[in-house]
Amino acid sequence: MRNSGKTLEHSLRLKLDGSRARLVLLLCLALFAVLAVRAFILQGVNNDFLQAKGEARFVRVVEIPASRGAVLDRNGKPLAISTPVESIWASPADFSADPEQFARLAQALGMARDQLAEKFADRTKTFVWLKRLMPPDQAARVIRLGLPGIFQQREYRRYYPSGEVAAHVIGFTGVEDQGQEGIELAQQALLAGAPGARRVIKDRKGRIVEDLENLRAPREGRPLNLSIDERLQSIAHRELKAAVEANRAKGGALVMLDARNGEVLALVNQPDFNPNNRAQWNPKSARNRSVTDTFEPGSTFKPFAVSAGLEAGLVKPQTVIATGSSLSMGGHSITDSHPHGQLSVAEVIQKSSNIGTVKIAMQLPAERLWALYSDLGFGSVPRTGFPGEASGRLRAARTWRPIEQATMSYGYGVSVSALQLARAYTVFTNDGVLLPVSFLKREGEVIGKQVFSRETARTMAAMLETVTQAGGTATKGQVPGYRVAGKTGTAYKLVNGEYADNLYLSSFVGYGPVSHPRYIMAVTIDEPSAGKHYGGDVSAPVFSAVMAQALRLQGIAPDAGLREAQARPASVAGEIPQKAIGKDRG
Amino acid sequence: MTRLSLALLLVLVLAALSLVTAQHRTRQGFIELTAQQDVSRKLDAEWRELQIEAQTLTSGKRIGEKARSALGMQVPDPKRTVMVVIPPPGAVAQGAR
């Protein structure tokens, strides 16, 4: 086409060739067709990739936090409970503030200015925690400053309303809601919820502008009913703490079981810690001694060997044994701290004679005693699921030397935990059946293991009752109005492989009321140093105080007879019990 | 042909309007849902705090301390205790107070 102005007017008037117009039209249509095909390929065939690219710019999956299940005591009282709190985080890349705003932010967060500046040091980061687990109102103040790049995130904080009272049983969680100790750790899977997720559209500043869909609903953690009774727990805590302080002891432990089904009703340790205040926490006080620490039990171990003697028909309660002043065995001599002369088997238990116990135990084969100790749960973990459960030490029978068989019968050369010891005493409250222990509330019948015959268990139970009566080693373990039974122990502590002269572990294991046993309690006081060290003087009073309050609380009828209880003096102190202690091999 | 087109146009307009209404209702519903979820969360948080408060106030430790120190209460010794034994027909005797 010529392009001069002179010919334009002329050529417009010309009737153009129709085929050329059609060609142009065709070309135009062809171009549209190419566009249509391309559009179809992009939107219809190959759209996943592009859609993903697009969404990656504004669609986010955010987590919906789930709360951790509460830990409740057997009556439904909360022992650990989570409440929502806010955590503040920042995106340094999006953050900007003038010095004055920065100062206000630091103040609202309760942080030093240079400390806060450090968090923003790397301006390329898009996520940094500023402060976690703040009370919601305080967090709201931070958000109200309206600074760009500052956000809040809902989290849960764990509270322990009973504080140090139940600290060792429950343990605690870390900042990420992970159980660190105790039940919190043992039952993590059950307590922890599963966070949900939802898909949202966020703008450039990270604000949610539209909710697209719920991907997963959060699954809240399940609440957990423990076997612990908060009231008994606080009584036990108070009495044990008082006793540890009064005796200037290094520590102490108390385990209380339900004598009928082996549930742990109370478990306290000294020293303790406050799980709500992690600042003063140290691993030493956080240790649950009654479950994770073992010790040589001393005389509280005697009833087992003596029961084996009764079971085998070797002795009867009235059988008289000459205890003399010492018994020599393979170059070692076994003594009673107070010579007793002639004692019946019942008196061997009542007065805690080492020699008498050894004379019974040596009549039995080592394998038999080993099987007995093993059946009673010593040397293996109690399988409560509690983290760090100790198995204690019980060596195989074929490695025993005779002197070891002898010392083991009165509790040296074996090591046990307070929980194991308390559990072993269930055989005396359940006609010879050893019950499994549990930190969780039990439903229905419990299946135990027959260790002794019913007759043997009852005979020993009757002997154990004499321990708390006049002439026994634990008159301070008496509970006015009730019949209680038990056994004292005063063990020398092993220090660097030698028995120390003045370090003791004083213990008492007992139960009550004797007619229908409800509670079994093991009390150990570690290194009492205020003058008294016999188990009957140090630990038995704790047993008495806790047992008296527990029985009264539960409204259990006194079984010791009315007049007897009222005639008895209010104080049982003054009588000096004779306690035999064992010290061998040096 | 024209009449059919007009009818279809009317249907189209109605469908478009109903879509707009439905979308509007969805948004309102969503706003309402979010608001209610917020209320539920607040109430849940409050309930938890009240539980903690209740447990802190009624803990055995605190009640024991208050009874002893503020009220001067003590456990009666057996001499001053009168046991009332109710002979129940077949049931367990209760009454240790």
Using alpha carbons, list the distances in angstroms from residue B1 to A281, A560, B11, B73. Answer: 87, 108, 15, 100
CB contact under 8 A, B78 and A552: no
Tell me the chain A residues in contact with residue B88 when contact means C-beta distances shorter than 8 Å: none
8 A C-beta contact, residue A341 and residue A328:
no
Return the structure tokens found at A568. 């008895």
Q: Is pLDDT at A297 greater than 70 in this prediction?
A: yes
Which of A79, A201, A209, A552 to mutate: most B Cβ within 10 Å? Answer: A552
pLDDT band at A243; cut points 50, 70, 90:
very high
Q: Is pLDDT at A217 greater than 70 in this prediction?
A: yes
Q: pTM of the entire structure? A: 0.78
Q: Is pLDDT at A252 greater than 90 in this prediction?
A: yes
Q: Which helix (H) or strand (E) holds A47?
A: helix A47-55
Whether residue A82 lies within 8 A of chain B, CB to CB, comes out as yes
Chain B nearest-CA distance from A431, in A, is 21
Residues 111-170 of chain A whose Cβ lies under 8 A from any Cβ of chain B: 136, 159, 161-163, 165
CB contact under 8 A, B30 and A233: no
CB contact under 8 A, A81 and B61: no
**Could you give the percent of chain A with pLDDT greater than 90?**
37
pLDDT band at A10; cut points 50, 70, 90:
low
Per mean pLDDT, which of A132-146, A147-161, B2-16 is the most reliable?
B2-16
How many CB pairs below 8 A link A and B?
A: 85
Q: Tens of pLDDT along A560-574?
A: 765 444 444 433 333
Return the structure tokens found at A582. 């064992």
Q: Given the residues A82, A162, A299, A438, select the one marked as catalytic.
A: A299
CB contact under 8 A, A557 and B59: no
pLDDT, residue A528, reads 92
Tell me the chain A residues in contact with residue B56 when contact means C-beta distances shorter than 8 Å: 161
CA-CA-CA-CA torsion sign (A328, A332, A338, A343): negative
Whether residue A411 lies within 8 A of chain B, CB to CB, comes out as no
**Could you give the percent of chain B with pLDDT greater than 90?**
28
Q: Tens of pLDDT along A493-539?
A: 888 778 888 889 999 999 989 999 999 999 999 999 988 888 889 99
8 A C-beta contact, residue A201 and residue A208:
yes
Chain A nearest-CA distance from B57, in A, is 9
pLDDT, residue A584, reads 34
pLDDT, residue B91, reads 55
8 A C-beta contact, residue A515 and residue A551:
no
CB contact under 8 A, B59 and A161: yes
pLDDT, residue A288, reads 86
Minimum Cα–Cα distance from B76: chain A residue: A570
How many CB atoms are closer than 10 A to CB A583?
Answer: 17
CB contact under 8 A, B78 and A565: yes
Q: Is A333 a catalytic residue?
A: no
Q: Which of A247-256, A526-535, A571-580, B79-88 has the lowest mean pLDDT?
A: A571-580
Tell me the chain A residues in contact with residue B60 when contact means C-beta distances shorter than 8 Å: 165, 230-231, 233-235
Q: Tens of pLDDT along A310-333?
A: 999 999 898 898 887 788 887 788
Q: Is pLDDT at A282 greater than 70 in this prediction?
A: yes
Calculate mean pLDDT across residues A384-400. 88
- Exposed/middle/buried for residue A498 (C-beta within 10 Å: 0-12, 13-18, 19+): exposed
Q: What angle do CA A312, A313, A319 make, to 5 degrees?
A: 130
Residue A353's Cα: distance from chain center in Å? 37
Omega before A271 within 30 of 0, i.e. cis: yes
pLDDT, residue A67, reads 83
pLDDT, residue A324, reads 79
Backbone angles phi, psi at A141, to 5 degrees: -60, -40
Tell me the chain B residues in contact with residue A552 when contact means C-beta distances shorter than 8 Å: 75, 96
Q: Tens of pLDDT along A81-125?
A: 888 888 888 888 778 888 888 888 888 888 888 888 888 887 777
Q: Tens of pLDDT along A13-55?
A: 666 677 888 899 999 999 999 999 998 888 877 778 888 887 7
Omega before A65 within 30 of 0, i.e. cis: no
Q: Which of A187-201, A244-258, A413-427 has the lowest mean pLDDT?
A: A187-201
Question: How many Å apart are CA A48 and CA A111, to the nearest integer?
Answer: 47
pLDDT band at A62; cut points 50, 70, 90:
confident
Q: Tens of pLDDT along B36-59?
A: 988 888 898 888 889 888 888 888
pLDDT band at A577; cut points 50, 70, 90:
very low
What are the residues facing A89 on neighbouring strands?
A: A129, A151
Calculate mean pLDDT across residues B28-34. 84
Backbone angles phi, psi at A352, to 5 degrees: 55, 65
Of A490, A382, A477, the residue nearest A439 (C-alpha) = A382
Chain B nearest-CA distance from A161, in A, is 5
pLDDT, residue A585, reads 33
Question: How many Å apart are CA A576 and CA A520, to the nearest integer?
Answer: 25
CB crowding A302-339: b at 16 or more within 10 Å, else e? bbbbbbbbbbeebbebeeebebeeebebeeeebbbeee
Minimum Cα–Cα distance from B53: chain A residue: A161
pLDDT, residue A280, reads 67
Question: How many Å apart are CA B97 and CA B92, to the nearest integer?
Answer: 15
Backbone angles phi, psi at A525, to 5 degrees: -120, 125
Question: How many Å apart are CA A90 and CA A139, to the nearest integer?
Answer: 13
pLDDT, residue B14, reads 96
Q: Tens of pLDDT along A468-484?
A: 988 888 889 998 889 99
Q: Is pLDDT at A126 greater than 80 in this prediction?
A: no
Tell me the chain B residues in contact with residue A162 when contact means C-beta distances shorter than 8 Å: 55, 59, 61
Residues 6+ apart with CB under 8 A from A346: A317, A318, A462, A463, A466
Strands in A251-295 per DSSP E: 251-258, 264-270
pLDDT, residue A9, reads 63
pLDDT, residue A259, reads 92
pLDDT, residue A218, reads 84
Question: How many Å apart are CA A378 and CA A383, to the nearest integer?
Answer: 12
Chain A nearest-CA distance from B36, in A, is 15
Of B42, B66, B70, the residue nearest B56 (C-alpha) = B66
Tell me the chain B residues in contact with residue A234 when contact means C-beta distances shorter than 8 Å: 59-61, 64
Q: Which helix (H) or strand (E) holds B27?
A: helix B2-58
How many CB atoms are closer than 10 A to CB A37?
Answer: 11
pLDDT band at B21; cut points 50, 70, 90:
very high
pLDDT band at A12; cut points 50, 70, 90:
low
Chain B nearest-CA distance from A559, in A, is 10
8 A C-beta contact, residue A549 and residue A542:
no
Calculate mean pLDDT across residues A480-495. 89
Whether residue A566 lies within 8 A of chain B, CB to CB, comes out as yes
pLDDT, residue A575, reads 33
Tell me the chain B residues in contact with residue A551 when contact means C-beta distances shorter than 8 Å: 96
Q: In the sheet where A208-216 sits, what is the strand order?
A: A59-64, A196-202, A208-216
Which has more pLDDT, B96 or B66? B66
